Structure 1
Amino acid sequence: MTHTFNPTVLREYDIRGIVGETLGVEDARAIGRGFGTLLQRDGGKKVAVGYDGRVSSPMLEAALIEGLTATGCDVRRIGMAATPMLYYAEASAEEVDGGIQITGSHNPANYNGFKMVFRGRPFFGADILLLGKMAAAGDWIDAAPGSVESVDIMDAYIDRLLQGLDGIDPQVLAGLKVGWDAGNGAAGPALEKLAARLPGEHHLLFTEVDGEFPNHHPDPTVEENLEDLRKLVSVKSLDFGVAFDGDGDRIGAIDGQGRVIWGDQLLMIYAEDLLKTRKGATIIADVKASRALFDHIAECGGKPLMWKTGHSLIKSKMKETHSPLAGEMSGHVFFADTYYGFDDALYAGIRLIAASARLGKSVTQLRSDMPQMLNTPEMRFQVDESRKFAAIDEVKERLARTTADVNDTDGVRVTNDDGWWLLRASNTQDVLVARAESNSEEGLARLMAQIDEQLSLSGLKRGPQAGH
């Protein structure tokens, strides 16, 4: 038996496609067989499996489990859950060797996909391509079928999340008022249980899991998706609000005045809190983050490290550098100080409450204290797949012949007296991503002109915005 995947579904950080068009049950079965084979060959046996609230998820879960058990792997089903709950099932149990979450994350309702952990490390890039090669060759173990057990880990997971408030006097939190928006994503049920056990007053939106996302699209990095939360915070006079993406591994937030606290700004708060007890720690952020963040980490006694965009790449770099904290503009935040180092938006929400309490300032005050930078949103525009990486290489070559201050960790980030600008190729789509930041409108305009000049020299221009 062999299987051929649609080439568009084997992505850099996960496997993702349109159900019924590029992704289906045969793919799920082949993923199970490939992953199970690799795990068995590495001496592993037990895999935790979870799925998000999408309509297609149960069908894919059944096929995935068939594939895993066909290789002799045992499966621990945790049922419908946020992605971080699956990561928790893998990280917290010694006998579990791997984990697979079926999720379409923040993509439209007709998408679905798979995020994987292998022996405690992210499974991505070359690992995912290997699954494709194994399927094409039928290179799978056939063994006596493994066992399947269903477990309920929700209460244990909530207990673990609440440890993020250890050492904080509940009286300090008694007057706290927070809004939460689950966006009808998979984090809803866990959020209900968590909020019921938190001190203070908590107002919840859209916790009912609905794979059609009837209220708004669950991507908290898009400002219009925070509108319901903003209204709630305003009407109820709340201290701040927290929103989640479709599978609960990315956080968005607004302060008491309705201002968005972007991913790099959240990291400024978390870093200031953490560095009070972990002086000299390396804190990682992706290349899209504000210079204000890197400066703030250094001012607080930390070592800022700029790294490539992508949750799997950041997790790998954290392990390598023993970093206790990392984050991305996209709202993935990773705590490895007193947690497991994976991206968990529910835990990040708890740590925002904890940071505010320990720093003795409201979230609104912490947001107000940040330097006022002028920056563009993440601009994404269509560039042909065959051209996107080549264009970035051309920009690098041209800048190498100048005195420009270039960081080429991930694409090209150029720093000058006006601020900085970035051009990088997306690993997951046929788009280029641009961003710029300055202290002044004039400076921002000059930086954008430099981006446009480099694109023009490569025969490209900033076109209409591409979606995620």
Structure 2
Amino acid sequence: MTHTFNPTSLREYDIRGIVGKTLGTADADAIGRGFGTRVRRAGGTRVAVGYDGRLSSPELETALIGGLTAVGVDVVRIGMGPTPMLYYAEATLEVDGGIEITGSHNPAEYNGFKMVLQHKPFFGADIQELGRMAADGDWETPEAEDFGTVSTADIEDDYVGRLVAGYAGGSYKIGWDAGNGVSGPIIEKLVKLLPGEHHLLFTDVDGNFPNHHPDPTEEKNLADLKALVAEKQLDFGLAFDGDGDRIGAIDGQGRVIWGDQILSILAEPVLKELPGATIIADVKASQMLFDRVRELGGDPLMWKTGHSLIKMKMKENNSPLAGEMSGHIFFAHEFYGFDDAHYAAVRLIRAAHMIGKSITELRGAMPALVNTPEMRFQVDESRKFAVVEEVLERLEAAGADVNRTDGARVNTPDGWWLLRASNTQDVLVARAEAKDQAGLDRLLAMIDDQLAQSGLVRGEQAAH
């Protein structure tokens, strides 16, 4: 018995596709068999499985569990819940791995799988290996009497309790927008344990996402939260992506607090407690963040974009806190090191209290910089990495100040710009940040010039 995946579904950090077109129940079964085989060959026997609120999640869960048990792995079902709840299950239950069925922040017709094996992210070559194993039928084949068993564990209340364990924050008026994603029920329970006044939006789980798309990194998706904060005169607002591993925030004036800005607030109390600690952020983060970490006595480290890559780097550097521009926030300080938007929310409330300033004051004190959103444009897969390499070679030959961590990040007196290849799509990603608009225009002209020299135009932006 063998299986062939649609090659577009096996991505760098997870498996994802359009249900019924590039991803289906046969794929879920094969993922179960492949992942279960890896677990057994590593000496393990049990895997936790959770799923998000998408309409296709229950049927994929059934097929995934069928594949896992068929290769002799026992399954602990934790039911519907956010990705970080699955990570929590994997960290605290007696299991050897975990799989969350989730389409993350993709449109409603998508779904996918995020995996963790023996407390480490399962990504990159691991995911490609699942494809090879399926093509070769390289799976364990126990006799029927040795198939795995299925049990359930209700961990939602334990998880929510863990989010507020040792909470020492203040009492604020807060708006919460779950965007009909799977975070809704967690937030409903969480606010009951927090002091203050809480106003909730769209906490009913609905895989059609009838109100707005659950991706807080796009400002248009924060419109309802801004209206709520303004109408009720709240201190700040928090928003969550579809599977609860990315956070968005706005201050009392409705200004967006982007991922790197959230991280700069969270870093302050952590560095007070752990002076000199390494704080990690991805290459898309503002220079403001790296400067702020240094100012607070920390050691800022710029690393590659991608939640799996950041988690590995944190372990390597014993880093207590890391974050990505996209709103993934990772706490190893007093937590498990995985990205959890609900925990980040609790820590943000606590940080404001410990710093002794309102979120609005903290946002207002940040340097005013002009930057572009993430600009994405289509490029042929075969050219994607080559273009970045050509740009790097030209810049280095010209003596530019370049950082090669993940693509080309170039510092100039105006600010910085970035060009990198996406690991998950056939796009190049560019971003620039300057002290003023004239400086930003000069940086964008540099990007355009480099692209033109490699035969590309920034023009058409790809949807993501």
Partner in structure 1 of residue 315 of structure 2: 319
Cα deviations by residue, 1:225-257 (Å, 9 ceiling, x for unpaired): 000000000000000000000000000000000
5 Å-filtered alignment, 1:103-122, equals 103-122=102-121
User: How far apart in 2 are the matches of 1:163 and 1:366?
Assistant: 25
The alpha-carbon deviation at position 463 of structure 1 amounts to: 2.2
Q: Percent identity?
A: 70
Give the deviation of 1:151 after TM superposition: 1.4
**What CA distance in whole angstroms lies between the structure 1 residues aligned with 2:91 and 2:361?**
35
For the residues of structure 1 that align with 2:367 and 2:268, how far apart are their CA atoms?
A: 14
- What is the CA distance between 1:385 and its match in structure 2? 1.2
8 A Cα contact 1:375 1:444, kept in partner: yes
Equivalent residue for 2:305, pick from 302, 309, 312:
309
Native 8 Å contact 1:164 1:351 kept in 2: no
Correspondence for 1:160: 162
Residue matched to 1:212: 208
Query: Secondary structure of the residue that 1:276 maps to in structure 2?
Result: helix
Q: Which residue of 1 aligns with 2:133?
A: 134
The letter for the 2-side match of 1:443 is: G
Task: Name the amino acid aligned to 2:175.
Answer: G
Deviations 1:175-211 (A, max 9, x none): x100000000011111101112210000000000000
Counterpart of 2:4? 4
Question: Per-residue displacement from partner, 1:82-136 (whole Å, max 9, x unpaired)?
Answer: 000000000112x211000000000000000000000000000000000000000
Q: SS of the counterpart of 1:217?
A: coil
For residues 92 and 232 of structure 2, what CA distance do their matches in structure 1 show?
Answer: 37
SS of alignment partner, residue 11 of structure 2: coil
Paired residue for 1:277, among 273, 277, 291?
273
Counterpart residue type for residue 436 of structure 2: S
Corresponding residue of 1:21: 21
Partner amino acid, structure 1, of 2:25: V
Using the size of structure 1 for normalisation, the TM-score is: 0.98
In structure 1, the partner of 2:439 is 443
Give the residue type in structure 2 aligned to 1:85: M
**Structure 2 SS opposite 1:304:** strand
Q: CA deviation at 1:164?
A: 5.5
Q: Say which is worse superposed, 224-233 or 372-381, in terms of deviation.
A: 372-381
Offset, 1:137? 0.4
Q: Which residue of 1 aligns with 2:331?
A: 335
Q: Determine the structure 2 residue equivalent to 1:35.
A: 35
In structure 1, C-alpha distance between the alignment counterparts of 2:261 and 2:461, rounded to whole Å? 24
Q: Which residue of 2 aligns with 1:354?
A: 350
Provide the rounded CA distance (Å) in 1 between the counterparts of 2:105 and 2:460. Answer: 21
Deviations 1:402-427 (A, max 9, x none): 11010011000000111100000101
Give the Cα separation in 2 of the matches to 1:81 and 1:164. 23
Question: Which whole-Å CA distance do the structure 1 matches of 2:461 and 2:227 have between them?
Answer: 27
Give the residue type in structure 2 aligned to 1:340. Answer: Y
Helix, strand or coil for the counterpart of 2:130? helix
Q: State the Cα distance separating 1:462 from its structure 2 match.
A: 0.6
What's 1:454 paired with? 450
Deviations 1:298-321 (A, max 9, x none): 000100000000001101111111
Unaligned runs of 5+ in 1: none
**How many Å apart are 1:397 and its aligned residue?**
1.2
Structure 2 partner of 1:99: 98
Contact 1:164–1:347 (CA<8 Å) still a contact in 2? no
Instruction: Output the amino acid matched with 2:347.
Output: R
Q: Distance between the aligned counterparts of 2:285 and 2:460, measured in 1? A: 23
Aligned-pair distance for 1:272? 1.1
Note the C-alpha offset of 1:451: 0.3
Once the two structures are TM-superposed, the CA of residue 464 in structure 1 deviates from its matched residue by: 2.2
Gaps of 5+ in 2: none
C-alpha distance in 1 between matches for 2:205 and 2:362? 32
Task: Show structure 1 runs of 4+ deviating over 2 A.
Answer: none
Q: What letter matches 1:37 in structure 2?
A: T
- State the 1:442 CA deviation: 1.3
